[in-house]
Chains A and B, each alone.
Chain A
C-alpha cells in the first residue's frame, strides 16, 4: 500500500474534527441545493400569479429563503476555512 495514502488515512483517523467538518459541509451543501430549488419554484410562481396577495406571500417566502441561503453560504465558507486549517 502506498505509504502516503496510509499516512493520510492515519492522519484522518487521528483528526475526527476534519471528518466531522467535511460531513457537515456535505449536509449544508445538500440543504443549500434544496433551498435553491425552492427559490426557483417560488420565482416561477411569482411570474405566473396574478393575485397581489399571493404574490406578496411568495415574495416573503422567497426573501426568507434568500436570507437562509445567504447564511448557509457564510457557514459553508467558515467550514471550508476550518477544513483548510486542519488539513
Chain B
C-alpha cells in the first residue's frame, strides 16, 4: 500500500512543484507541520518513563475519569495518535481495562478538536513564524543537552516551532495561490459535494496519517477562501473517520485487547461521521446558535468549523458513552482471541514494547507464563496434574497411583514449553531501549533472574527424575516411600506458592510471609536428612540408596528454593515500591537457618554433617 502511494505520490508531487510555486509552499507547509508532530511525539515520549504511566493509572479508574484523561492529554499533547498508541500499549500489557481505554479514545476525539480551536482562534490571527523561530532555537539548544527530560523538552519546543512554521507556510501559500487560482470554482454543492469532500478528507488523513494536519490544511484553505464552508465541514468529517486508520495500523502489533480498542475507535468515528453527515443541516444550525452565544461573527467560518468539529464529536460521546460496557461486550464477541498456543510467547507484542512500564509488565506476564509451563513439567514428572494439588489426601493418592514411576520426557517438555518462551523473553529484554538507570531496568534484571530460577528448577527436576523412576520400580518399600515423600513435598510447595499468589491482596505483609515458605524448605530438608540417616542406621535402606536419597533431597531443596525465588519476583515485584519497607525486614538465608537451629536444636550438628 505504502509502495503504491509512493509510486503515485512522487511523480504527482514533482508535477505539482513544476506547475506552481504556491503548491510547493503548501506541500512544504504540510511536511514541516508533520515533522513538527513527529518531534512533538518524540518529546512527549521522553516523559513516558513513569510520569505519564502513573497519571494514566490514577486517572483511568472509572470511565468518566478515562474520558477526561483522553480530553486533557490530547489537548495538551495535540496528538490523538500518541494518546491512542499509549492506550493500546497499556491495554496490550494488561495495565488498562478495555472500557477505560474506550473512554480515553472517546475523550481523545474531543480533545483533538482543541487543535482546530487553537489554529482558527489564534494561529490565523498572529504571525506564527515570529514565534516559530525562537522556539526552534531553544528547542535545538535543549535537544543537544545530555539530560533525557531536557532533551524531551527540546523536542517539544522544536516540534511546536515546526508546527507553527508549517501553519505559516500553508497560510501564506494559500493566500498567494488565491491570486492565480480560485479553488472555490471547483466547489461541489449538495449531497454529492458532501460525499466527495468527505472521501477527500478521509483520503488526505490516511495519506498524512494525521487528522490534525488535515484539519490545519482545511482551516488554512478555508481562511484563504479556497474551499467553501459546506465542503470544509465534509472534509472535517472525512478526516475524523480517516484518523481511525492510524489506530488500526497501530493495533496490528497489539494483542486482542489492542485490536478491540482500535475496533471501538473505528466504530465511534464511523457512527459519529455517518450521523454528522445525515444530520448536517441540524449541525449547521446548532453551530450558528453556539457561534451566536460565543459572539463569533457569522462569517468567521474557521471558528465555526472548530465549533462543528467539537459538536459532532461531543454528540458522539453523549450518544455512545453510556453504552461503553455494551460496546465492550460487542467487541469481545466480534474480535475473539486467536487460539492460545501455550508453547509460544503470549505477551511480548510490539505494541507492549512501546513504553517502559508496558514493556516490563509484558515481560512479567510472559515470565509468569513460563512459570506456569514449568510447573506443568515438574508435576508431570511425578505423574501429577494441577487438580491433584487440591488437598493433601488426593495429592498423596495420586502419587501412590503413580508409584511405578511413569516416564515423562522432560527434554521434550523443555524444548516445547520452556526454551522458545525463555529465548523470546531474553531477546525481548535485549531490545529494551530505555535508559539503564531507570527503575524499569532493575525490574527487568530481576525478571530475567526469575526466568533463570525457573529453568534451574526444571534442570533439577530432570536430575531427580532418574532416581525417581529407578526407585519407583524398586523392591525397597522404604526407598520408594522416601521418593514419594520428596515428590509430595515439591508438590506441596507448588500448592503453597499458588495459595500465596491467590491471597496476596488480602495478605498484610506478603513479602515477609514468604520467609515462612523459605523456612519450611529448610525444615523439610532437615527432616528428610534425619529420616535418611535413621533408615540407614536401622538398615532399612542400603548406604548406596541413602546417598542417592541425600543427593536427590538436595535437588528437592533446589527446586523448591528456585520456585519460591521466581514467585517472589513474579508476584510481588509488580509494584516493588509497595514492598520496599518490608524488604529491609525480610530474613536472609543465614537468618532463616538460625530460626531452624533454634526450633530444632540438633540442626547445627546436621548442617555440619552435610
Contact = CB atoms under 8 A, between A and B. Distances in A.
A78 B512 CA distance: 20
A64 B584 contact: no
Contact of A72 (B585, B594, B595, B598): B585
B510 to A, nearest CB: 11
A19 interface: no
Interface size class of A (residues with CB under 8 A): 20 to 34
A65 B599 CA distance: 13
B516 interface: yes
A68 interface: yes
B506 to A, nearest CB: 13
B228 interface: no
Contact of B581 (A27, A38, A61): A27
Interface string A24-40: 10011001001100100
A61 B598 CA distance: 12
A68 B512 contact: yes
| Most central of B508, B582, B584 by chain A CB within 10 Å | B584
Nearest to A23: B581
A3 B598 CA distance: 57
B515 interface: yes
Interface in B579-593: 581-582, 584-587, 591-592
| Most central of A24, A64, A65, A75 by chain B CB within 10 Å | A64
A31 B594 CA distance: 22
B584 A72 contact: yes
Interface in A54-75: 56, 59-61, 63-65, 67-69, 71-72, 75
A28 B581 contact: yes
A44 to B, nearest CB: 18
A60 B527 CA distance: 14
Interface string B220-239: 00000000000000000000
| Most central of B512, B581, B585, B592 by chain A CB within 10 Å | B585
Contacts of B584: 28, 71-72, 75
A49 to B, nearest CB: 15
Contacts of B509: 31, 34-35, 38
A60 B523 contact: yes
Contacts of A63: 595, 598-599
B581 A64 contact: no
Contacts of B591: 67
Nearest to B581: A27
Contacts of A24: 581
Which secondary structure characterizes the binding site on chain B?
Answer: helix
Contact of B519 (A35, A38, A64, A69): A64
Contacts of A65: 512
B598 A64 contact: no
B599 A60 contact: yes
A71 B590 CA distance: 14
Given A31-B509, A31-B581, A61-B516, A68 B587 contact: yes
Interface residues of B, number: 20
Contacts of A27: 581
Contacts of B508: 34
Contacts of B595: 60, 63-64, 67
B212 to A, nearest CB: 39
Interface in B482-519: 508-509, 512, 515-516, 519
A27 to B, nearest CB: 4
Interface in B271-305: none
B587 to A, nearest CB: 6
Contacts of B516: 60-61, 64
A35 B512 contact: yes
A63 B603 CA distance: 15
A64 B515 contact: yes
Nearest to B599: A60
| Most central of B519, B594, B595 by chain A CB within 10 Å | B595
Contacts of B582: 31
Nearest to A59: B599
Contacts of A67: 587, 591, 594-595
Interface string B340-366: 000000000000000000000000000
A69 B587 CA distance: 10
Contact of B585 (A38, A60, A71): A71
Nearest to A37: B508
A79 to B, nearest CB: 10
Contacts of A72: 584-585
B585 A75 contact: yes
B581 A68 contact: no
Contacts of A61: 516
A64 to B, nearest CB: 5
Contacts of A34: 508-509
A70 B592 CA distance: 14
A65 B586 CA distance: 10
Interface string B560-588: 00000000000000000000011011110
Nearest to A69: B585
B380 to A, nearest CB: 30
Given A34-B509, A64-B516, 16 more contacts: A27-B581, A28-B584, A35-B585, A59-B599, A60-B519, A60-B599, A64-B519, A67-B591, A67-B595, A68-B587, A69-B585, A71-B585, A71-B587, A72-B584, A72-B585, A75-B585
13 contacts: A24-B581, A31-B581, A31-B585, A34-B508, A56-B599, A59-B599, A60-B519, A60-B523, A61-B516, A64-B519, A67-B591, A68-B512, A71-B587
* Shortest Cβ-Cβ A-B pairs, 9 listed: A27-B581, A68-B585, A63-B595, A72-B585, A71-B585, A64-B515, A75-B584, A60-B599, A34-B508
